[in-house]
Homo-oligomer: A and B are copies of this chain.
Amino acid sequence: MVGKVQKKREDLRVKLIDIAEARVIAGGISAVRARDLAAEAGCAVGAIYNVFGDLNDLIMQVNARTFKRLGAQVSAAVAEEQGRPVDQLIAMSHAYLHFARDNTPAWRTLFDLEVSSEDDVPAWYLEELQKLFALIAAPLVRIFPELGREDVILMTRGLFSSVHGIVLLGLEKRISAVPTDQLEHMISLVFNHLSSKNSKS
Interface residues of A (CB under 8 A from B): 111, 115, 117-118, 121, 126, 129, 144, 151, 154-155, 157-166, 168-170, 173-176, 178, 182, 185-190, 192-201
- B198-A195 in contact (CB<8A): yes
Contacts of A164 in B (CB 8 A): 165, 168-169
* Contact assessment for A175 and B121 in the assembled complex, using a CB-CB cutoff below 8 Å: yes
Question: CA–CA, A194 to B190, complex, Å?
Answer: 8
Q: Knowing that A129-B175, A157-B169, A162-B163 are A-B contacts, what are 17 other residue pairs whose CB atoms are under 8 Å apart, sorted by A's residue number? A: A115-B174, A121-B174, A121-B175, A126-B175, A154-B185, A154-B189, A155-B189, A155-B190, A157-B186, A158-B166, A158-B190, A164-B169, A165-B168, A192-B199, A192-B201, A193-B194, A195-B198
